[in-house]
Amino acid sequence: MGNGYGFYAPRPGLPRRIVVRLYRPATQDWISETIDWGRGEAMLHVETMYHHFQEGDFLREYAASWAAWYFGRHPDAAVAVVEDQVWNLPSLRASRQRPRVQWVTMTLYSFARTDQPIAPEPEALLPDAAP
């Protein structure tokens, strides 16, 4: 309704998370990172941040910001792949058949640092190579 009072309206969103995969040229490996701060107030803020990925505006800049934060935590990383994932919870009726519930990647954003050589083997950067 646009006034900010419609919590969980018209429906609650599916659980989301951001997984960032970072490539380190020095060790030629990929590491995978996601935020897990328990269930406190800080995590609720992060979960709110996750849900901005379903809004259409300036997603590229938003994802770049996440990548930049992870680059700051891993100065040796040269490439960051930001994955917006959704927990594909089936509907109440479909859940009776006990389908497999898992995290599904909705969108990928990739970023590379310009001040670091990326990889000696370009095939290492293919999405399939990501763990």
Partner 1 sequence: MRLHSGRGGSFRWRLIAQLLRPAPSWPLAGLRIGAGAIAIVQALGLLPHLDALVGPYGIVQHPVDQLFTVEWLPRFDPALNFLVSITGCLPETALRVLMIGYVALMMMLLAGCWTTSVKWLCWFAHLALKSTGAAGSYGVSEFLNILFFYLALSPCGEVWSIDAMRRRRHRRFSWESGLLLLTLRLHLCAIYLSSGIGKAVGPMWWNGESIWRALIRERAAIYFSWLVFVPWLAALMGWWTLLVETGYGAAVWFPRTRWVWIGMTLLLHAGIAVFLGLWLFSATMMLLNFCAWAPVLQRDWRTLRQRRANIDQKTRAISRRISRYWPVSIVSRKH
Q: Give the interface with partner 1 as residue ranges (CB under 8 A).
A: 1, 3-15, 35, 37, 39-42, 44-46, 48-49, 52, 57-58, 61-62, 64-66, 68-69, 72, 87, 89, 91-93, 95-96, 101
Strand order in the sheet with 79-87: 29-33, 16-24, 79-87, 103-112
Q: How far apart are CA 4 and CA 8, in angstroms?
A: 11
Beta carbon nearer to partner 1, 12 or 117 = 12
Specify the 3-state DSSP secondary structure of 64: helix
Q: CB 3 → partner 1: shortest distance, Å?
A: 6
Question: Alpha helices, DSSP H only, in 12-126?
Answer: 41-51, 59-73
Q: CB 129 → partner 1: shortest distance, Å?
A: 26
Q: CB 118 → partner 1: shortest distance, Å?
A: 23
Q: How far apart are CA 33 and CA 56, in angstroms?
A: 24
Beta carbon nearer to partner 1, 26 or 45 = 45
From the CB of residue 118, how many other CB atoms can be counted at a distance below 10 Å? 15
Beta carbon nearer to partner 1, 23 or 70 = 70
